A and B are shown apart, each in its own frame.
Chain A
Amino acid sequence: MQWDYLAIVALSSLTSASVLIIATLGLAVIFGLMGVINLAHGEFIMFGAYGALIATRAGMPLVVAIVFAALVTGLFGAVVERLVIRYLYGRLLDTLLATWGLSLALYQTAVLIFGSTTPGVGMPIVSVAIGRYSISAYFLFLIAAALVMLAATYLILTRTSYGIMARASIQDRDTAAAVGIETGRINTITFAFGTGLAGLAGGLLVPAFPATPGMGIAFVAKAFLAVVVAGPVTLTGAAVAAGTLGWAASATASYLSTVMGDIIFFVATILLLRAFPNGISDRWRLKL
């Protein structure tokens, strides 16, 4: 095997891992800070993807369209929190089912509006040559984007006053309320933040993956597993889990087949859960 082949496999696996991290962050934020499993996460990604698509069609440059997608999705998330989620705090399974209902409804609405397939956004055509192979520069950009998103989210949640209030609310809601934090408002912001990250993911991914109403399902199952494998240190844990599992699956896929890659992903998940019944970050000392 040639060095350039190895390099290209390593890079494309890294891209897959980054894609999964991008798709997982929003889910991890909402689960980690609110204890809500958002099964509609995939549809929020889809929402962002269509947002970016419409924005580019209207003539916005891609970068602006991506930011626009994140904002619109976050706003929509805030509305959903006000209307549905806020009545279900502390009822893990009920939120799971309600967000699944939301996922079904959003999916079907998208089918009604856009049909089941849509042309994608053209990916910026710049590629980087590695030996005899080449890789799209956009994939390398996605690797960087994953790192920036992770770092920014971590800093926002640990260094800003909003982040500290949000983490206080999840640790002890009553105490947080007693010291004057408006936990209701914080929850709305957190949900909007998490869904905004999903929208950002949609916007970032739409040049590489075609926007379809069902695109979310492909990401959400794996993102969901990564978050659960992560355990208590949700954000960093989920990033590590998504990165490792996504990388292993993609590397397997390049040597064997996509199906084997997926099976490796799921089997690794089961083995990790067996080895760490409370998640891989059970004994970590990180805060988030």
Chain B
Amino acid sequence: MPIAGTGVLIGLVGLLLDEFLLYVATSWIIFGILAFSLDLVWGKCGFLSFGQTAFFGLGGYLASVAAINLAPLTGNNLVWIVPVGALTGACVATLVGYFIFFGRISALQGTILTYTFTLILWTGSIGLTVAVGDAIVGGDNGMTGIPALTLGLGKDAQPLGPLGMYMTVLVIAVALYVFVSALLRRPFGLVIAGIRMDELKTELLGYDVRGYRLVIFIIGGAIAGIAGALFASWATYINPSVFSIVEALLVPIYVLVGGRGTLVGGFVGSVAVGGLSFWLGGGVIGGQTTLALGVILILLVLFLPRGLIGTILHAVQRIRRRTRIPGVGPVTIMVPAGSSCETTPPEIVSAAPALETVGLSKSFGGVLAVQDVSIAVPPRGIRSLIGPNGAGKSTFIKVCAGMLRPKSGSILLNGTDITAEEPFARVRAGLAIKMQVAQVYPDFSVWHNLWLAGFARFRNEAAADAIVETVLPLIGLSEKRYLDGAQLSHGERQWLDMGMVLCLAPKVILLDEPTAGMTPDETRRTAGLIQRLAREAAVVVVEHDMEFVRMLDAEVTVLHQGSVFAEGRIEALRRDERVLDIYLGRRQSVKSL
């Protein structure tokens, strides 16, 4: 494993350094661990946290208070401060994370919340002076006399010297790295990457995004807490400056310098910035280095936004990709008549509606976008939803999927009331949605896009593999399975998105303008695909294009100004003067409403 080799190499370098440099270099690795925790939360899962130094500081403070008081009880052995730091970080991160993610606080606001949390600790800890047993938390003066890390046991156990501390911290860093990399293997890592690229889409595949985010945040908090405990025992001193604004902002700098989302980037950034400050003279912060750091930061953001490691990795990836693109054949959607893409065993079709809305209303700031809509959709077949711009079609679909909360009314899925359910829970209950703009993961291959959907449905890797192989030929992308989502054409993305919906094997499918922007030929093929879907599920299609609706040959519901205006077959509606009026904007019938 390359990481083990790198670890040994850094260990060997340690043998060459003099004691002072060893001591300083140890702090770079400790801050590297802290930055690593942020890269997990931010680089891998997409949430920028300014709270890592809060978990770091709390871990440090609590582990130190415990170490001062309990060292004699544990025979002077202090290895246990590492789990104490981890536990502290994890517990606090659980509280903060639950508040942010389960409160569905938006990204920027959430980031600021972590920042505010750190500010509270900063302000609070400066004024706070308390004695906990033998430990004195001395406000602005900080806490002194923290025992150094001791591995041995008994009266003669000696605290670690600079070399021992360096090696211990290095081993812990490598162990954490190995643990996190193993954790991020598929499928968990794939879900996390999916959340980073497109949170909404991942939720609409049926993953509880809040839970995943919280788990990552807690692990990040635990790692930051470990770093804090190590820091306090390295410095034998800790003060409120660990919670300061400058510290909080320094951690993202380390990650950016190294490269966000690379995991090693945090370590590289910490060593690079720490080494630079050391070389320029003065501590990590303060002195003339601040000016140099500021300028370097601006230059990095402008000219090297991927960071040191990120830039190298990106270059390597581009070369690899160039050599790996397989032959690209013509794209065809094969809809073999009578052949099976059965994802659910055929059931006895009951007469009860699969999806039903009762008096559904939704308003935006006083404007009723959806007004008292009651629709029942049978378990098989297509229902087209048409209406002029602003008729409330997309809003209706979004309310059904749970992306918007209705003002009143209820939604029933197979007879169960799902009005209060979270979007992912609706998907798990069998409701799938494809939004107007195709939502595919740009950095995943076609295969992985589908796999993530399949795994969401079956929670089993083999079953997910199998459904991907079934769906690929149906959407005609077998030949392009290795291409990334970003490399597909507009139409292909729409089909891939529909393929992802197929992998969910849903009972009800909501499609919002699936043919927007397609050529007539692509539209015709899409109609074929939808008719195929309708044999096993209820499909609700929102459309503008009357020609396409005629092609689908389905029951039609006309929405106008948020209400159901008419229902019936398309031929009948085409002869209905009132329907023509609203489409052509003719006045007389509209007024008489």
- For A228, the closest partner residue in chain B by CB is B112
Kindly provide the distance from the CB of B244 to the nearest chain A CB, expressed in whole angstroms: 9
Question: Known contacts A93-B48, A97-B297, A217-B245; is A107 also within 8 Å of B119 by CB?
Answer: no
Of the four ranges (under 10, 10 to 19, 20 to 34, 35 or more), the interface on chain B belongs to 35 or more
Q: Would you call A100 and B249 a contact (CB within 8 A)? A: yes
Interchain CA distance A8-B103 in the complex, whole Å:
39
- Write the B120-138 contact mask toward A (1 if CB under 8 angstroms, else 0): 1001101100000000000
Tell me, yes or no, whether A132 is within 8 Å of chain B by CB.
no
Q: Would you call A102 and B126 a contact (CB within 8 A)? A: no
Chain B, 268-292, CB within 8 A of any chain A CB: 288, 290-291
| 5 nearest CB pairs, A to B | A101-B297, A104-B294, A105-B294, A108-B291, A259-B127
Task: Name the contact of A279 in the complex, choosing from B109, B115, B300, B365 (C-beta under 8 A).
Answer: B109
Q: Would you call B294 and A267 a contact (CB within 8 A)? A: no
Task: Name the contact of A270 in the complex, choosing from B117, B245, B290, B295 (C-beta under 8 A).
Answer: B117
- For A269, the closest partner residue in chain B by CB is B116
Interchain CA distance A106-B294 in the complex, whole Å:
8
Q: Would you call B294 and A270 a contact (CB within 8 A)? A: no
- Write the A167-193 contact mask toward B (1 if CB under 8 angstroms, else 0): 000000000000000000000000000
Q: Would you call B112 and A97 a contact (CB within 8 A)? A: no
Question: Known contacts A228-B108, A266-B116, A277-B109; is A101 also within 8 Å of B123 by CB?
Answer: no
**Which A residues are closer than 8 A to B by beta carbons?**
39, 84, 87-88, 91-94, 97-98, 100-109, 112, 217, 221, 224-225, 228, 257, 259, 262-263, 266-267, 269-270, 273-274, 277-279, 283, 285
- For B291, the closest partner residue in chain A by CB is A108
Task: Name the contact of A277 in the complex, choosing from B103, B123, B295, B300 (C-beta under 8 A).
Answer: B103
Tell me, yes or no, whether B341 is within 8 Å of chain A by CB.
no
Q: Would you call A274 and B99 a contact (CB within 8 A)? A: yes
Where chain B touches its partner, the secondary structure class is: helix
Q: Would you call A274 and B103 a contact (CB within 8 A)? A: yes
Interchain CA distance A283-B288 in the complex, whole Å:
47
Task: Name the contact of B288 in the complex, choosing from A93, A106, A108, A263 (C-beta under 8 A).
Answer: A108
Tell me, yes or no, whether B376 is within 8 Å of chain A by CB.
no
- For A285, the closest partner residue in chain B by CB is B365
Q: Would you call B105 and A274 a contact (CB within 8 A)? A: yes
Interchain CA distance A283-B363 in the complex, whole Å:
12
Q: Would you call B116 and A270 a contact (CB within 8 A)? A: yes
Q: Which B residues are CB-close (under 8 A) to A267?
A: 120
Tell me, yes or no, whether B296 is within 8 Å of chain A by CB.
yes
Q: Which B residues are CB-close (under 8 A) to A108?
A: 288, 290-291, 294
Q: Would you call B106 and A277 a contact (CB within 8 A)? A: yes
- For A227, the closest partner residue in chain B by CB is B112
Task: Name the contact of B123 in the complex, choosing from A88, A105, A263 (C-beta under 8 A).
Answer: A263
Tell me, yes or no, whether B430 is within 8 Å of chain A by CB.
no
Tell me, yes or no, whether B113 is within 8 Å of chain A by CB.
yes
Kindly provide the distance from the CB of B118 to the nearest chain A CB, expressed in whole angstroms: 9
Q: Which B residues are CB-close (under 8 A) to A97?
A: 252-253, 256, 297, 301
Kindly provide the distance from the CB of A76 to the nearest chain B CB, expressed in whole angstroms: 15
Tell me, yes or no, whether B409 is within 8 Å of chain A by CB.
no
Question: Known contacts A100-B249, A221-B119, A259-B127; is A273 also within 8 Å of B365 by CB?
Answer: no
Interface centre among B249, B291, B301 (most CB of A within 10 A): B301
Tell me, yes or no, whether B70 is within 8 Å of chain A by CB.
no
Tell me, yes or no, whether B305 is within 8 Å of chain A by CB.
yes
Q: Would you call A98 and B298 a contact (CB within 8 A)? A: yes
Question: Known contacts A228-B108, A228-B112, A273-B113; is A101 also within 8 Å of B296 by CB?
Answer: yes
Tell me, yes or no, whether B429 is within 8 Å of chain A by CB.
no
Tell me, yes or no, whether B293 is within 8 Å of chain A by CB.
yes
A selection of 17 A-B contacts at a CB cut-off of 8 Å is A98-B298, A98-B301, A98-B302, A100-B297, A101-B295, A101-B300, A108-B294, A217-B245, A225-B112, A228-B112, A259-B123, A259-B127, A263-B120, A263-B123, A273-B105, A273-B113, A277-B104
Q: Which A residues are CB-close (under 8 A) to B99?
A: 270, 274
Interchain CA distance A69-B409 in the complex, whole Å:
58
Interchain CA distance A277-B249 in the complex, whole Å:
23
Question: Known contacts A221-B245, A259-B127; is A266 also within 8 Å of B120 by CB?
Answer: yes
Kindly provide the distance from the CB of A264 to the nearest chain B CB, expressed in whole angstroms: 10
